[in-house]
Amino acid sequence: MIETRILKNPTAEDFSVAGDLIREGKLVAFPTETVYGLGADGFNAKACDKIFAVKERPADNPLIEHVCSLEMVDRVAREIPLAAEKLFAAFSPGPLTLILKKRPEIPSEVTAGLDTVGVRFPDHDFARAFIKAADTPIAAPSANISGRPSPTTAQAVFEDLHNKIPMIIDGGDCNFGLESTIVDCTSEIPTILRPGAITREMLVEILGEVQIDSALKDSDAVPKAPGMKYRHYAPRAALKLFNQDSLDEVIFTVKNFNRVGLLASSETLEKIPAKISFNYGSRHDLRSIAANLYEGLRFFDDQEVDLIFAEETVETGLGFAIMNRLRKASSNDF
């Protein structure tokens, strides 16, 4: 058992202690603008193995290498195609992961045996100070137990990983609350493997043309991002999606059964007074819905409900990423 220290208001000295832990092959959880990451030295195979053990993560699901400058990208990628250069210039630092050809020094544990590597330059002062102090790319997935909603607060990381890792850097609430957009830049036309806060519309503006991995449109297709094949983000209770057309069923169920949770917009919650509810924000504010989504799912786990009704959003812009996560959390899809 390892005692877990939570660093609140970290100082320069704290970051240097965190960097030392990484160089010793240990794990440190850190905040980013998307979700909290569970980091290890991105060149240390044994340290990266620990990530899989601690998270109970399937070995075929690769990690993302986090860098704190564009120069550092060269330490992990052996080729940067024009599309990647344009995307880094437009959106870095930011909630975007690019899939590039990997350098041979990257351990196969990080990339799950693939010839490519995910690279991300997070837009968070603490993340950057931490990577800088470690002086190495940091391999990290989300800092949750596999299959749980990703953590967007230090408290959520602590719930899942206390006594398993030595340190959590507390950066408060994550700004976006959904994992990064993943774009494969090794395919002829860049391909979105996972939707996120850098939307398809924003990518098209820079690149002209982008594809969407067929698995994002057809649940029978095999996803190119190995992690997207799992029933991720799963709350403990069954989760059912609803929209304004199916409101009657929701009202009936909430009225007649006790342990039913309602994850919905403030507008809908005004119409349905549910006993156990989580307000994810206004229907018109997708940023707020994205930022609150995983805390909502974790809230219902604590409430021990049998069924969660979750309100759908539009499918455009950030709504594409929100609906992708909601579908993955729901029991009747994927």
Interface residue list for ligand AMP (CB under 6 A): 61-62, 64, 99, 111, 114, 116-118, 141-142, 179, 182, 193, 224-228
- Residue pair 4/167 in contact (Cβ under 8 Å)? The answer is yes
DSSP secondary structure, 162-174, as one string: TTTSSEEE---S-
Distance (Å, rounded) from C-alpha 191 to C-alpha 211? Answer: 5
Q: Minimum Å distance from CB 177 to ligand AMP?
A: 13
CA distances from 268 to 235, 251, 311, 316 (A): 21, 11, 8, 20
Whichever of 124 and 242 has its CB closer to ligand AMP, that residue is 124
Q: Minimum Å distance from CB 141 to Mg ion?
A: 5
The option from Mg ion, ligand AMP, none interacting with 193 (CB < 5 to 8 A, set by class) reads: ligand AMP
Residues 6+ apart with CB under 8 A from 248: none
The option from ligand AMP, Mg ion, none interacting with 17 (CB < 5 to 8 A, set by class) reads: none
The option from ligand AMP, Mg ion, none interacting with 61 (CB < 5 to 8 A, set by class) reads: ligand AMP
Q: Minimum Å distance from CB 142 to ligand AMP?
A: 4
Whichever of 64 and 250 has its CB closer to ligand AMP, that residue is 64
Residue 164 dihedral angles phi and psi, to the nearest 5°: -120, -20
The option from ligand AMP, Mg ion, none interacting with 262 (CB < 5 to 8 A, set by class) reads: none
Whichever of 62 and 261 has its CB closer to ligand AMP, that residue is 62
- Residue pair 147/104 in contact (Cβ under 8 Å)? The answer is no
Distance (Å, rounded) from C-alpha 202 to C-alpha 86? Answer: 12
The option from ligand AMP, Mg ion, none interacting with 94 (CB < 5 to 8 A, set by class) reads: none
Q: Which of 34, 111, 136, 142 binds Mg ion (CB under 5 A)?
A: 142
Whichever of 192 and 264 has its CB closer to ligand AMP, that residue is 192
Q: Minimum Å distance from CB 181 to ligand AMP?
A: 11
Joined together, the tokens standing for residue 36 give: 């909290």
Coil, strand, or helix at residue 128?
A: helix
The option from ligand AMP, Mg ion, none interacting with 19 (CB < 5 to 8 A, set by class) reads: none
Residues 6+ apart with CB under 8 A from 268: 247, 262, 283, 311
Q: Which residue is nearest to Mg ion (CB)?
A: 142
Nearest in space to 305 (alpha carbons), one of 231, 253, 244, 247: 253
Whichever of 99 and 308 has its CB closer to ligand AMP, that residue is 99
- Residue pair 134/150 in contact (Cβ under 8 Å)? The answer is no
Q: Minimum Å distance from CB 279 to ligand AMP?
A: 26
Q: Minimum Å distance from CB 27 to Mg ion?
A: 15
Distance (Å, rounded) from C-alpha 242 to C-alpha 311? Answer: 5
Joined together, the tokens standing for residue 70 give: 């564009």
Q: Minimum Å distance from CB 13 to ligand AMP?
A: 28
- Residue pair 137/42 in contact (Cβ under 8 Å)? The answer is yes
The option from ligand AMP, Mg ion, none interacting with 225 (CB < 5 to 8 A, set by class) reads: ligand AMP
Binding site for Mg ion (CB under 5 A): 141-142
